[in-house]
Structure formats: C-alpha cells, structure tokens
Amino acid sequence: MPPRSAPAQAPSRLDAKVLVIGSGPGGAMTACTLAEAGHEVLLVEEGDHVPVGATEPYSLDDMERKWRNGGLTPSFGPVKVTYVEGKCVGGASEINAALYHPPVPSVLDQWARDYGIADFGGDVLARHIEAIEREASVSPFPGSPGIASERLAAGAASLGWKSVAVKRFWKYDGTEVLGRRQSMTETYIPRARAAGARLQDGLKVKRLLLEGRRAVGAIATDRDGRRVEIRADRVIVCGGAVQTALILRRSGITRGVGNTLSMNPMIRVAAEFDDCINEPAIGVPVLQIEAFKPEMTLGCSNGTLAHLALWLVGAPENREQLLAEWWRLGVFYAKVMAKARGFVRNVPLVDEAFVSFRLGKSDLALLGLAAERLATLLLASGARAIISPVPGMPAVRSLNDIPALRAGVEAGKAQVTAIHLHSTVPMGSEQKGCPADAFGKLRGLENVWVNDASLLPDTPGINPQGTILAIARRNAERMLG
C-alpha cells in the first residue's frame, strides 16, 4: 500500500462562483457539467482523496479512510437499521459494488405522476443514460462471472427463477479480466478538474450562509477543526440523503427537508458450501435474481475475511473453524423496497445527524419472505449450512428450517442494514409538498439547489447510482440555462 501523503491545509477563506458541496455521484456530475460549460466551480468534500487501488477493498484501512463511522451507522427505531455512507472524494461510488442498473422507466413515470415532476420520465432521461453508460465504461463482466454467480444461477434455474449478471461501472482493457473500477475519482472528477474546477477535500460544510432569499456561501471546518468561510454566488448541495438534509436543517431550511427518508433494508447471511465458493479477486459477484424485482432483490455480497467475520456473528462455536476454511463461505443478501419512512434531524452540540427509521409490519413481512426465498435459493445452489442473521438461531440446513428463519426476521430479531438512502429533499410540485422543484432548486431561495440521492422522491428498488447520475446530469444542464 502506498504511504499516505500529508493532506493540504485549507485556507481560512475560499471564494467561488459555484460551490458544490459533496463529491459523490451527484456532486461529481454537477461539477463536471458546469465546469465543462465554462463555470468557475469549487467542489468541496469532507473526506480524504483516496485513489482507486490505494487501499484493499473492504479492509480495515479502507473502511477507516473511505467510510463514515467505519462502515456502519445505526439509525434509531424499534428495529435498528444500520446504514452505510461514503466519506471520501467520490463518495459512495468509491466503496460500493459498482453495480449498474439503468433507471426503471415505469418507476420514473410513476414518480412524475405521483409527485408532479415536470419534464421527467424514461424518455427524458434516455440520452443522459446513454451518455453515462459510455462515459463511465458500463460493462459486463468478461468471461465467467465466477463460482458464486454460477452456483446461484444454477440454483435459480432449478427453481424457475430468472437471474442476470449485472453490468458494472468498470473498464476492461481487453487483456486483464479484473479491469478497473470507474468511480467518480476515475471519471467525472478528473474531467471537472481538467475543465478548471477546484477540488478541496478535508473540508466539512456545517451550514449555509444566508442573506434574505439568497445563499452567499457556507461555513465549514477543516481537518483540525478550524473555521473556513466559503463565499459563492450559487450553492449546490450534494452530500447524500443524510448529510444534505443535515446541512440544510442546520441552515434553518427545514420545510419539507429530512422528513421522508427512504431506504432499501436488507439482511445478509453467510453460507457454507462443500467446496470453493469465494473468489476475493473477482470482487462482489455480479449475479442477481430478477424474478422479484424491483420489490425484492437477491444476490451475492462481498466475501473478504472482514465481511465474513461480520456476518458470522450468529454462528455457533465453530466460527473460527469456518473462517479457517473461508474459501467455502460466501456472503449473500436479500434486499426489499420498504414502505417505511424515516427522518433526519440536527441535534444541538452534536456533530452527527440523528436518523430515525421505523420498519413497519408489512416491511418486516416482506423482509421475512425475502429471507425465505434467499435460503431456498442457497440450498438449491448447494449450500450445506446458512448462518442465520438472527443471533442465537441455529443454522439453516434444510427446507424444514426455513420457517423459523422467516419468523425470526418478521419478528424484527435479525440484523438489518441499508446501503441505499434517498428522498430527504424530494423533488416535485409544491402542491405535493416537495421542498425542491422538478430540477432540484429549493423553494424560497434564489440560488440554492440539491442534486443527489436526496431528490429521489421514493426508493427506486435498485442500486440508485445510475439513476442519480442521470437526474444530476439533467438538472445540471438546466442550471446552465
């Protein structure tokens, strides 16, 4: 691993025509589009700039440098849902599985109708989607997708369930199978900087500076906690669903902000096979079950030792023995579209957001059904034991054990996580109560926009990165006008 370089200290005062807060997919696309159109852009990021390949994916060093709170932040509610946020240049695009799903046209059209989003839908976003797929090298995995994917595909076929090998934001040069992740630090951020945009990492924006109906900049702190004032003519907040809502609410912008958080809750299980199933060099296996989308997705997760240990927490006394033969273990997930909504609040004298999310009975029932289907799939794929996500529950070894697993999940006893968060500043019509208009401009302010996952008015049911990029590109083009 290359040595860490000493981070540059931010000056106490920065000036910009356009301030973009947050460098994840929404912020990177916004900065790139505006800079390439000739605008003077300052892109600020709370985390560090950690290039692709500088850390081993999912290692402790990787999670310390790229993930907020080391990878898992708890929300509050009757069932605790832990969620994931990126905290580095490039945001979540640097830490996720890089799986690509184009926006679902029927979902986009439904949003347009339900939330009164003008000039929106599958037809409108089509050219943006085409550009993103080309510019970010969206590609299928070359050759065999790996042992885990092949086993799941065979198991799904035996059950009559359709499966698919999902494309990724990944570039292959034709000779190396592994290729290279095409995250924001490999794509839109270098383009933005080449067009003249300035990138300042290690700078945490606390709140916006408002004068009447206009923002004149923001107040931030550097790595050492020193105050930094940023002056700007336009402000675009792209910190992600939690951080964007937190910044706005700290700034006194609260109407409709942070009240409608949506997530895709999931359970993960470790499964034991008789032979090799785990190939860390491949990364996250790309196979997913299509039969129940978008309401429910079943697939493979990361299988590094750290992740295996995390999801073996409910294993019996042979946990160390299982880890010693890690190549026979894989991690798999079941993810659902929840109807529940949560909220984001700022708490005085507390640096982090307070996030609450309450899974309802219908959500837990759907998650229980997903757990049942995942266990059925894994047994059909050759698993001899499935470590339960319900602490203290015996492993699932046959179809007869599955009802107890489902009951435990439905009772809210399983470990539940979420990696996709949205909808804290939904876009749409004022009549629908949306704080942002159809292009992300905040109502009541003349020069403040939001352009990230916060705008999605509901969960898309899929990995949202492609959807976020397409909407951000559309909105940034509108800002040019």
Give the pLDDT of residue 4.
54
Please report, for the chain, the start and end positions of each structural domain, with discontinuous segments joined by +.
13-50+92-136+182-257+424-480, 140-172+261-418
Residue 178 has pLDDT above 80, yes or no: no
pLDDT digits (tens, 9 = 90+) for 153-163: 999 999 999 99
Contact 463, 118 (CB under 8 A): no
**Taking 80 as the threshold, does the pLDDT of residue 360 lie above it?**
yes
User: Poorest-confidence range of 124-128, 277-281, 343-347?
Assistant: 277-281
**What's the pLDDT tens digit per position in 427-459?**
999 999 999 999 999 999 999 999 999 999 999
b/e 239-266 (16+ beta carbons within 10 angstroms → b): bbbbbbbbbbbbbebeebbbbbbbbbbb
Which residues lie across from 266 on neighbouring strands?
335, 417
Rounded to whole angstroms, the Cα distance separating 219 from 230 reads 6
The stretch 311-317 carries a mean pLDDT of 69
Q: What is this structure's pTM?
A: 0.94
Is the pLDDT at 361 greater than 90, yes or no?
Answer: yes
Q: Which of 39, 49, 128, 420 is catalytic?
A: 420
* pLDDT tens digits, one per residue of 54-84: 887 777 788 888 888 887 788 998 898 999 9
Residue 13 DSSP one-character state:
E
Residue 357: pLDDT over 80: yes
Q: What's the pLDDT score for residue 144?
A: 82
Whether the Cβ atoms of residue 26 and residue 451 lie closer than 8 Å to each other: yes
* pLDDT on residue 1: 43
Give me the chain's average pLDDT, please. 92
Amino acid at 193: R
Total residue length of the chain: 481
For position 5, what pLDDT does the model report? 52
- Cα angle 229, 238, 30 (rounded to 5 degrees) comes to 100
Query: Does position 358 have pLDDT exceeding 80, yes or no?
Result: yes
Question: Is 422 an active-site residue?
Answer: no
Topology of the domain covering 140-172+261-418: Glucose Oxidase; domain 3 (3.30.560)
> In this predicted structure, what is the pLDDT of residue 7?
58
State phi, psi for 79 to the nearest 5 degrees.
-110, 115
The greatest distance separating any two alpha carbons of the chain, rounded to the nearest whole angstrom, comes to 67
CB contact burial 155-180 (16+ within 10 A = b; e otherwise): bbeeeebebebbbbbbebeeeeeebe
CATH number of 13-50+92-136+182-257+424-480: 3.50.50.60
- 468 closest CA partner among 454, 447, 479: 454
Is pLDDT at 304 greater than 50 in this prediction?
yes
Q: Could you check whether 13-50+92-136+182-257+424-480 and 140-172+261-418 share the same CATH topology?
A: no
426 φ, ψ (degrees, to nearest 5): -65, 140
Contact 459, 474 (CB under 8 A): no
